[in-house]
Structures are given as C-alpha cells and as structure tokens.
C-alpha cells in the first residue's frame, strides 16, 4: 500500500462524486443562498470553501430547489467541459489558457442543449472563427430576453478550481463577463478561497457565501448516510475512527474519503498510506504529498493554534523558513490563517495527522509546591495523565518541575485546560511545550542523503529505521539511542558532520 | 503631497522590494506601489488590477449602493478632500458604464489635466469636444459587435469627426493596427491608454472590428484637424452618438488636486464650463456628474442652484472615510487582488504588533486612503531596507518608517522591546 510522489490520485478514492439527492446533508447556508435570490440586490453569489468540502453538492441541491420553482430557469456550466481530456485529468493546476477549440466545442454543446428548449437559439449565427466572448454575450441576451423571458435565469458555474489563477482570469474574462453583461441573469459560482472575482462590475455586485465545516449534527448525519451507502465499509470506518476519537465529522470531504478508503481497502488502518491518500484526495493538485506530510508532521505535535515565531522556535528555523513552510501548507489547503497572525492545521486533518503519525508532545509544568508527586496526583484526578507519562521531575527554588510526554492530542487538551484555568486544583502555575531540539536540529541540518551518511557514521542502516519520512526516521534514530543510553555516540557523529552547529543539548 | 508613495529623499530599493513582494510574500504584483489612481492604472495596463482594488467609499449622507446611485440618470455632485478617492470613484463609474453598456455614452473630462493652452470659452469647448470624441471612439469600438451595422455614411462622419477632433488620431490608430497587438485577457483594450482611457473590458480584434478601424484609417486625408472649437462641434458629436444608438450622455467632470494658483484657474474654468454645458441643449439628455474638491462645495452648489441642477433626484454627497473598517477593507482587497490569502498587515506582523499594526496604519492615515497607501508603502520600504527576505514586519520597521516619513503629521514611533520579544530573526 505504498504511494509514490508522482502517481495520479486514485480514481476510486475520488470524492468528487455525482450528486445524489438522498446522500445530500442539509447545510444551513442554503437559506442564505435563497435570501440572495429573493433580495435581488446582487447579481453574483460566490460560494467559497476549501477544496473537497461539498461545494458541488451544495450547488446541485440549490439548483434542485430552484428547479421546483416555475419562475426560475437554471443553467449549469461545468468548467471541466471547456478543457481537453488531458487537462481534465492532469495532476497539476497548470491550465493557464483554455484553447479556443475547446471553448468552441463547449459552446456548441451548450447551445445545442438550449436549442432543444428554445428553437430561437439554434438560429443565432455561429462560426468557428467568431470570438467566443461575443458569441456568449449574444447567447445570454437571447436566453434572457427571448427564450426564458418572464423567468429568472440563474447560471451555475462549478469546478472552476481546476484552473490556475491565470486560467481562471481568462475564463472570467471570456465566459463569465459576457454572461454577466446580461444584467437580468443571476450567477452562482463555486470558487476556492483564493479564486477571486476580478471583474469589477461583478465584484461590485457580489455576495460571498462561505461554506463552513459541517456542524456536529450534520457531520453525524452525513456519516450515517455514507454508512447506508457503503454497508461493508461501515465497520472498517468505525475501526479507523476508534483510533481518532477527537475527530468530530466536521469535514465533508474527509467523511466521504473515510468510506471510500475503507471500501477499497478491507484492511484499512490509520497508517501512513492512509494519510498520503487523504492528502492526495483532499487536494488533487498537491505536487508532492510526501513533502506536505513531512511539513504537517513537523507542526502537528505542537499547539492547535500558533503564530509564525512560535513555529520557528519549535522547529529551530528562521521566521522566514517557518513562513515559507506555513505558506506551502496554506497553498495546499492543509493549514489556514485563522485571524491576524494565527494559524492552525485544518480541522479534521490535524486529528488524523496526529494519530496516524503517532505524534507525541512534551509539556514542562511548573507548580507552586515542592512535591512533584502532589502535582502528578492532582493531574491524575483532573485529567487522563498517568504516572507513565512522567519523564522527569525536579524541585528548584521550592517549586516542582514535572515533564510529561503525551500523545499530541492529549497534550493539547491538557494545555487547553491549563489555559482555561481548570488546573488550578493541581497547583500548576505555568505550562509550556518543550521542543525536542535535537529532533529539529537533525531534521533541519541533514537532508536524506546526509542522513544516510550519518547512519553510516553510526554504523547502522538508514533503511532499517522504521517510518516513511525523514522526520519519522530521525525520531526512530533518537528513540534507538535513547533506549540504549548511547546518546553521546549520536551527538559525536552529528558534531563530526556539522561542527558549526551547537550540539550542547 | 507626493504622488509616489516613498519619501522623495529616500531611494527606494526596487530589487529588494520586488524580492519581498514577489518571493517572500508571494504576491503577483505590488498592490501598494502607488497611491494615486492615475499611477495605479499603469500597473499591468493590459489587465489592470486597479478596478479590483475598489472599495465603496463611505459618504455623508450615507449611500447603501453608491455606484448604482451614481449610475442613475440624474446630476451628481461628489465632494471630498485630497486623496479621498474621488478620481477612483469617477473611474469606477466610467468602468461600470462601459463594461455593462445600457445606451449611456460616458464622457470623462478632467479639469487641470487636459486643459488647452488657450483661455476662455473656446478652450472649454476644445477640451469637452475632445473628451466626447475620444470616449465615443472607444465605446463605439468596444460595443461594435452589438450595435448592428453602421452604414458607410455613418462610418464616414464618425471618422471625420474623430480625425478632426482627436489629436494625432490617425497616426496612433495606424500604429496600433500595424503592430496588431492583442492580449488574450483584454484584446485591443490596452490601445485605449494611448487616448488616456482605461482598459475595462475584453475587446477582441475580430474581422468586423478590424474592418471598421481600417475604414476609419482610410478617412485620414479627408478630415483636416479642427482649429476653432465651439459648442456646435460638441453638439455634432452628441448627435452622432444619438444616431448610432446612444440614448444619454454622462459627463464625468473630475478636478485634479492642484496648487493655489491653479485652483483659481480651475474654478474659473468650471464656472465657464457648467453654464456652457447647460445652455447647450444637446440632442440626447446630458447628465453632469462632478467629482470635486470639498472646498468647491459652496461655489458649485451656488452654480448648480442657478442652473436648476439641484433637484430632489440629484445626488450630492461628501466622501468621509470615517469608518476604519472601510480603510481596512481597502488593505484586504489589495492583498487579495495580488493573489494572496493575506488579509492585512497584522497577518505579516511580528507577534508584538500583530494585534495592532493595521489599526496603527489606519490611525496614521487620518481618514485618507492615499495616506494609508503611502504609509503601507513606506513601511514596506523600511522593512526591506532592514531585511527583504524576512517575512515579518516588526516594531523596528515601524520606527524606521517614522524616521523616513516626509509627509505632514508623522506617526509616533513605538517603544522597542528586546530583540527576542520583537521577533527579530535569529
């Protein structure tokens, strides 16, 4: 079950499925869309969401509801239909220009479909040498002023996220704008967060609708529907979810992925293959999912939310390097900027990453007592911490210091309790994450080839270290030397290969 | 106040700024490079991001949808202090009318920019007629595909009017046709910059359009330049517009910010132009839409009252950027227009100022978008002078910006914390 960086996303795990009304999970934002329609103040409704969070099904549901209203006429454009088959199934979002030949092919089909409902459309002049934007403008005029006069025409545009930003701009200029010049036509466009409408007059008449995560009840409802659709996969999904109790079914695409994955792989486990498939499926254009997983791994063991400086300190890199890493994850929809300078891994993804990669975090606790046992007992009573989590205790200047090692998820829950002042009973006055400096130093100073050299220096085989990515291998290396109390040997080799770094840890 | 947003005595390090904007922040262009509409329009003129920067300015009295109100067939009087975005608003209205045509010919007349060297009423008519001819040419070409067939006689009269009135019309048109440059996003719209008009929509060089332009070019010899300007010439242009389907004219009058001496001259010019336009009785309705400095309010109101332009339908409002959220939207919109997920300067601020940098900038702006853009630009310059590859803007950068400040009312520097607290790069 090993993936590789250049393979295409697995079609059987494609969460972009044909709309099925019985499988649709109601979303409250549909009311906002209806209000937009009835208010008639704005020509354009842009439905914005992260990829794979249910935009298409939301639009399909809305179309279905509009179709139940005789005064509304809906039309649908699938952006994929303007692309060549190679582009449609391509790995990267590099579509910068849509070839005229494909635009014309789409236009002929679109016009033909309309002509079946309105014969006058067939009479519109057409030549392959005509400019597509002018053809669209004339068609839009015919549709609204003649064919469906008396009805409100609503045009849905979906799957624009297949296009690069320059490609999207060209599509906007040559297809959306000519439609929108017909002022009586209303448009609903599904778009990525970064896919802006630049057309001035449309932007001035735009309402943005943000499709948020599923709320608890809706998430559960979607999971139930998926369980009915994939009865064989249901117990396997339950098994997967048992390992990830923190996941609240909030991510529509992830929910679907869980069932598709469990349906395809009877022995589905929350392992690295699972994670790679997940990253691959959530963003089918991610160029190097393995690199993204490495980056996620390096930040998922830290707090749920963080700022760039904290990330830099945590990973022992410069602010600039931390910014670049965060930006790469943001570009691939795995991290979001919450507000101001705060970031987090996308809800849902974070929980899976932590469990799958078995990430652990270290917390340093300072307490107002000279008895560390008292602190541990207090924590045992208030939280799920046990004596097994204790790595070190100390008493300095009349204050107890306790170092705990926990699953990243449990560590974050404990930190939340501390921040909410719910640990006062245990006498805790300060709690902070303790970075594993050695892990970050080695991860940052050695690339994979150099890791091979380091292992050679240590007399072990890099391949024999468990785990997929470099960071995982470094963790294994550290664990190996810690268990054997041979850390000085490791440090000696590191010092030899990187004499300028500070190895006094 | 200087139009460029960096202090005149400071040398902007363009390569470092470019590195910060394009590589560190990964913006697809510099959305804070300039602080005036005219200069901003020159950024990527083939598909200018300028119009996507637009944020509706708050006004007194408040207008829920200002652009729609401006677009209604009524006189409009918009006043505002220097740097409040009057010209931007005028461009926005022009762009809206041209991008979604409804039979309106929108004519842009800028007091102080296109002024003829001669004085008196002739100069007024020269400027107005040239503006009408230019806009008629651009808008006929843009809308050619939806206008129906223009007979040879109409094309001939249009051509003669344009050749006669628009300076160097034939020479410039020939140059464009010979170069035959068309852009995939805008077609031939970048050509309009030659005639000081913005590219606002995709206008392909179709065979029909090419043939039309060639016919116009062939008329060059038959039309000697007009030497004496008077109201009849303007009237003739308006009649041509009516003949080919335009149903009304919006005359957008914008006055550039100017020196005290120029102010007197412009006031005089405005006092000549408005009554002259009013007395014209053009063949199709003409609605004046004025975008003027606030200090002209009393004078213009007096003129408008005398001309009977102040009716209950007239829109008269003053731009007042007294809502911080509107200025914040201006910053957010610019980052977004540059293709970024960044929402404001707080996002790229070091921890110690991350909850207040945008507010500090808005306070420094003192209700002026231009001043806000100048602050943003100067802050970027200060930051890149320290470290272009560093992503986060710190209190040190803010204080360096305060030192570089060359406009009035300098902002206050911040007390500095230790280097660790300020997030200095290690």
Calculate what percentage of chain B has a pLDDT beyond 90.
Answer: 65
Average pLDDT over residues A253-258: 93
Report the pLDDT value the prediction gives residue B252, as an integer from 0 to 100. 96
Report the pLDDT value the prediction gives residue A409, as an integer from 0 to 100. 75
Report the pLDDT value the prediction gives residue A9, as an integer from 0 to 100. 52
- Residue B73 — pLDDT band, cuts 50, 70, 90? very high
CATH architecture of A359-435: 2-Layer Sandwich (3.30)
- 8 Å CB contact between B21 and B27: yes
- A288 inside 8 A of chain B by CB: no
Rounded Cα distance between A136 and A120, Å, is 15
Whether pLDDT at A127 is above 70:
yes
Kindly report the backbone phi and psi dihedral angles of residue B78, in degrees, each rounded to the nearest multiple of 5, phi listed first: -110, 125
From residue B330, how far is each of A26, A53, B367, B376 by CA, in Å? 35, 29, 12, 11
Report the pLDDT value the prediction gives residue A235, as an integer from 0 to 100. 94
| Segments making up each domain of chain A, as ranges | 26-210, 216-353, 359-435, 438-497
Kindly report the backbone phi and psi dihedral angles of residue A184, in degrees, each rounded to the nearest multiple of 5, phi listed first: -80, -10
Rounded Cα distance between A118 and B293, Å, is 53
Whether pLDDT at A5 is above 60:
no
Whether pLDDT at B7 is above 70:
no
Disruptive mutation site among B96, B347, B396 for chain A (greatest number of A CBs within 10 Å): B347
Helix A349-356 vs helix A272-282: crossing angle, to nearest 10: 160
SS3 B13: coil
Q: pLDDT tens digits for A422-432?
A: 887 778 888 88
Q: pLDDT tens digits for B340-372?
A: 999 999 999 999 999 999 999 999 999 999 999
- On whether ipTM exceeds 0.90, the answer is no
**Cβ distance of B349 and A341 shorter than 8 Å:** yes
Question: Residue A213 has what DSSP assignment?
Answer: P
Of the partner residues B28, B47, B391, the one whose CB lies closest to the CB of residue A319? B391
Which residues on chain B are in Cβ contact (under 8 Å) with A307? Answer: 351, 354
| Segments making up each domain of chain B, as ranges | 14-53+324-404, 59-319
What is the fold, at CATH topology level, of the domain defined by A26-210? Rossmann fold (3.40.50)
Which residues on chain A are in Cβ contact (under 8 Å) with B201? Answer: 177
Which residues on chain A are in Cβ contact (under 8 Å) with B26? Answer: 327
Whether pLDDT at B260 is above 70:
no
Calculate what percentage of chain A has a pLDDT beyond 70.
Answer: 94
- Residue B411 — pLDDT band, cuts 50, 70, 90? very high
**Cβ distance of A194 and B341 shorter than 8 Å:** yes
Q: pLDDT tens digits for A296-346?
A: 888 887 788 899 998 888 777 889 989 999 999 998 889 999 988 999 999
- Check residue A467 and give left, alpha or beta (phi > 0: left; psi -120 to 50: alpha): left
Shortest distance between the Cα of B59 and any Cα of chain A, in A, equals: 17
User: Which residue is listed with tokens 């249901």?
Assistant: A234
Q: pLDDT tens digits for B265-321?
A: 778 888 888 888 888 888 999 999 999 999 889 988 888 898 888 888 899 999 999
- 8 Å CB contact between A434 and A473: no
Rounded Cα distance between A45 and A48, Å, is 9
Q: pLDDT tens digits for B34-50?
A: 988 989 988 887 788 99
Rounded Cα distance between B7 and B9, Å, is 6
Which residues on chain B are in Cβ contact (under 8 Å) with A337? Answer: 341-343, 347
- Residue A382 — pLDDT band, cuts 50, 70, 90? confident
Whether pLDDT at B423 is above 50:
no
Q: Which among A360, A498, A489 is positioned nearest to A441, based on CA atoms? A: A498
Nearest CA in chain A to B387: A320
Nearest CA in chain A to B185: A170
Average pLDDT over residues A97-120: 92
Average pLDDT over residues A282-300: 83
């Amino acid at each position: 079950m090993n993936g590789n960086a250049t393979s295409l996303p697995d079609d059987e795990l494609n969460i972009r499925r044909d709309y099925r009304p019985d499988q649709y999970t109601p979303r409250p934002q549909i009311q906002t869309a209806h209000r937009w329609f009835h208010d008639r103040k704005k020509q354009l409704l842009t439905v914005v969401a992260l990829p794979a969070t249910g935009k298409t099904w939301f639009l399909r549901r809305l179309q279905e509801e509009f179709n139940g209203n005789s005064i509304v006429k809906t039309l649908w454009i699938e952006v994929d239909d303007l692309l060549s088959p190679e582009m449609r199934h391509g790995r990267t979002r590099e579509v910068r220009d849509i070839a005229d030949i494909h635009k014309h092919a789409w236009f002929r089909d679109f016009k033909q479909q309309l002509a079946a409902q309105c014969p006058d459309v067939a009479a519109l002049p057409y030549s392959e040498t005509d400019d597509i934007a002018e053809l669209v403008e004339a068609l839009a005029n015919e549709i609204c002023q003649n064919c469906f006069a008396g009805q409100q025409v609503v045009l849905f545009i979906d799957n624009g996220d297949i296009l690069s930003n320059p490609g999207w701009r060209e599509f906007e200029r040559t297809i959306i704008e000519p439609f929108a010049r017909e002022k009586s036509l209303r448009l609903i466009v599904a778009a990525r967060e970064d896919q802006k409408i630049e057309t001035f007059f449309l932007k001035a008449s735009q309402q943005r609708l943000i499709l948020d995560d599923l709320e608890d009840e809706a998430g559960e409802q979607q999971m139930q529907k998926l369980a009915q659709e994939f009865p064989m996969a249901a117990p396997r999904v339950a098994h997967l979810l048992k390992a990830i109790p923190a996941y609240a079914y909030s991510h529509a695409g992830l929910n679907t992925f869980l069932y598709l994955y469990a349906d395809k792989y009877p022995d589905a486990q929350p392992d690295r293959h699972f994670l790679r498939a997940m990253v691959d499926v959530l963003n089918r254009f991610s160029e190097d999912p393995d690199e993204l997983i490495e980056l996620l791994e390096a930040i998922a063991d830290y707090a749920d939310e963080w700022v760039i400086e904290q990330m830099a300190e945590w990973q022992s890199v410069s602010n600039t390097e931390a910014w670049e890493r965060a930006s790469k994850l943001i570009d691939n929809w795995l991290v979001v900027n919450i507000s101001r300078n705060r970031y987090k891994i996308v809800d849902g993804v974070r929980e899976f990453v932590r469990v799958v990669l078995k990430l652990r975090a270290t917390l340093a606790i300072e307490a107002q007592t000279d008895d560390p046992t008292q602190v541990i007992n207090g924590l045992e009573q208030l939280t799920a911490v046990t004596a097994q989590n204790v790595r070190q205790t100390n008493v300095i200047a009349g204050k107890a210091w306790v170092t705990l090692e926990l699953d990243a998820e449990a560590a974050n829950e404990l930190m939340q309790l501390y921040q909410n002042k719910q640990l006062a009973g245990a006498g805790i006055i300060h709690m902070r994450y303790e970075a594993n400096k050695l892990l970050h130093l080695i991860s940052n100073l050695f690339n994979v080839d150099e890791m091979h050299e380091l292992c050679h220096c240590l007399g072990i085989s890099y391949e024999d270290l468990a785990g997929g990515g470099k960071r995982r291998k470094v963790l294994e290396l550290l664990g190996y030397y810690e268990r054997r109390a041979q850390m000085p040997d490791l440090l000696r080799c590191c010092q030899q290969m990187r004499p300028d770094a500070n190895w006094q840890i | 106040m200087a139009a460029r947003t960096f202090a005149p005595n400071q040398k902007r390090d363009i390569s470092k700024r470019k590195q910060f904007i394009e590589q560190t922040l990964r913006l697809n262009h510099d959305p804070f490079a300039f602080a005036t509409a005219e200069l901003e329009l020159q950024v990527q003129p083939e598909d200018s991001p300028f119009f996507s920067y637009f944020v509706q300015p708050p006004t007194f009295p408040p207008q829920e949808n200002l652009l729609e109100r401006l677009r209604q067939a009524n006189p409009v009087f918009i006043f505002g202090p220097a740097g409040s975005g009057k010209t931007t608003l005028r461009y926005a209205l022009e762009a809206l009318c041209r991008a979604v045509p409804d039979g309106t010919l929108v004519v842009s007349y800028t007091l102080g920019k296109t002024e003829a060297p001669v004085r008196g009423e002739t100069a007024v008519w020269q400027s107005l007629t040239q503006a009408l001819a230019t806009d008629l040419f651009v808008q006929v070409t843009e809308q050619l595909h939806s206008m129906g067939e223009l007979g040879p006689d109409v094309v001939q009269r249009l051509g003669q009017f344009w050749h006669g009135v628009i300076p160097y019309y034939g020479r410039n048109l020939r140059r464009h046709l010979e170069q035959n440059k068309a852009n995939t996003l805008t077609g031939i719209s970048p050509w309009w910059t030659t005639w000081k008009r913005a590219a606002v929509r995709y206008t392909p060089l179709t065979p029909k359009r090419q043939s039309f332009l060639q016919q116009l070019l062939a008329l060059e010899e038959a039309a000697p330049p007009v030497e004496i300007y008077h109201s009849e010439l303007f009237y003739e242009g308006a009649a041509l517009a009516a003949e080919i389907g335009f149903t009304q004219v919006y005359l957008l009058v914008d006055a550039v910010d100017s020196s005290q001496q120029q102010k007197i001259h412009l006031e005089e010019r405005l006092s000549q132009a408005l009554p002259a336009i009013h007395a014209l009785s053009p063949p199709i309705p003409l609605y004046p839409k004025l975008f003027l400095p606030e200090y002209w309010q009393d004078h213009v109101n007096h003129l408008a009252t005398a001309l009977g332009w102040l009716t209950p339908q007239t829109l008269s409002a003053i731009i007042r950027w007294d809502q911080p959220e509107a200025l914040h939207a201006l910053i957010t919109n610019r980052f977004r227009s540059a293709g970024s997920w960044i929402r404001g300067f707080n996002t790229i601020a070091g921890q110690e100022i991350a909850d207040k940098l945008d507010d500090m900038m808005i306070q420094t702006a003192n209700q002026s978008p231009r001043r806000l853009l100048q602050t943003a630009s100067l802050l970027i310059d200060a930051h890149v002078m320290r470290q272009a590859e560093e992503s986060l803007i710190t209190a040190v950068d803010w204080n360096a910006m305060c030192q570089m400040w060359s406009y009035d009312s300098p902002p206050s520097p911040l007390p500095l914390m230790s280097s660790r607290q300020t997030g200095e790069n290690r």
